[in-house]
Chains A and B, each alone.
Chain A
Amino acid sequence: MKLTINGLRQEIRSSNIIDLLDELDLKKEKMVIEINKKIIEKEKFNETNIKENDSIEIITLVGGG
């Protein structure tokens, strides 16, 4: 299905957050996920389903001042 991740349209096979992070091969350290501007708690990654046209933000912490 097609959805938006970090502003880019992507074709994705996964149907929940945990699978999506694996599919994208992302480290889960200091990471936070927003689906349609709603923060998803880490404990709920497993049970949180994603659907067509969702807007997902995968956020982390980087160097800054």
Chain B
Amino acid sequence: MEETLKIGKFEFKSRLFIGTGKYESFDIMKKAHEASGAEVVTVAVRRVDLNDKGKESMWNYIDQNIKILPNTAACFTAEEAVRTAKLARAAGLPDWVKLEVIGDKKTLMPDNEETLKATKELVDEGFTVLAYTNDDIVSCQKLEKAGASAVMPLGAPIGSGQGILNPNNIKIILENANVPIIVDAGVGTASDVTIAMELGADGVLLNTGVALAKDPIRMARAMKAATESGRDAFLAGRIPKKLYASASSPIDGIIK
């Protein structure tokens, strides 16, 4: 039976969520999206550039079957994030949001207090909230209690490509969560995705690791395979680690 990932009222087969930022061209982005097999892509909410109206529309390069997840990137308060989510909804996107409230410009670390406040307000407004936060169980549990439909602890700082810096924290979060946990941010290469998925993460969200790879389309394909193999390995159940060897061939019948 094919398993699916449920986030609020939304349901997906793919567990890889991918961004639309930083690509060299829309054409490469489109091909990378295809190669990734992602059913969800993230977008940002910004002012129209009144000085450059001739720009080609990104929408010609996003498959109509892909669900668009707006983010609240660059918001520093709950008020800004709620406003941004409402603007995205008014622009015609589904009533869900990747909630991101930043507390520090240099590290882009989340402000958990403001994130929690925004989560409560957006849930009250009927939004399905996917909340980006630190990789600590207390923040994640508070967001879950506040009504977040998914919680998204970071693997490492946004765009840093450092991978899953604290797998034990992610494992603890996963063991105690009652909503999907999507590892968001910090993924640099395929093995980072596999580590997150092998730990039992319900999905991975990434942007820079694909968009800025030398060959984004090939990296997107690698990320897809990494997501699937990590998920399979998690479901299959790995063997426990042992200090000493354990022979794979029988001891009986050794020729003497």
Contact = CB atoms under 8 A, between A and B. Distances in A.
A1 interface: no
B77 to A, nearest CB: 14
A61 B47 contact: no
Across the A-B interface, the 10 shortest Cβ-Cβ residue pairs: A64-B44, A65-B207, A65-B19, A63-B20, A32-B91, A63-B21, A6-B47, A32-B90, A61-B43, A58-B48
Given A64-B21, A64-B42, 20 more contacts: A6-B50, A26-B48, A26-B53, A34-B87, A39-B86, A39-B90, A42-B90, A58-B48, A59-B47, A59-B91, A61-B43, A61-B68, A61-B70, A62-B44, A62-B46, A62-B58, A63-B43, A65-B22, A65-B71, A65-B205
Interface residues of B, number: 37
Interface of A: 5-8, 24-27, 29-32, 34, 37, 39, 41-42, 57-65
B158 A59 contact: no
Interface of B: 19-23, 29, 42-48, 50, 53, 57-59, 68, 70-71, 73, 83, 86-88, 90-93, 158-159, 205-208, 211
A32 B44 CA distance: 13
Contacts of B70: 61
B90 A64 contact: no
A30 B59 contact: yes
Contacts of A29: 57, 59
B48 A59 contact: yes
Contacts of A30: 59, 91-93
A65 B48 contact: no
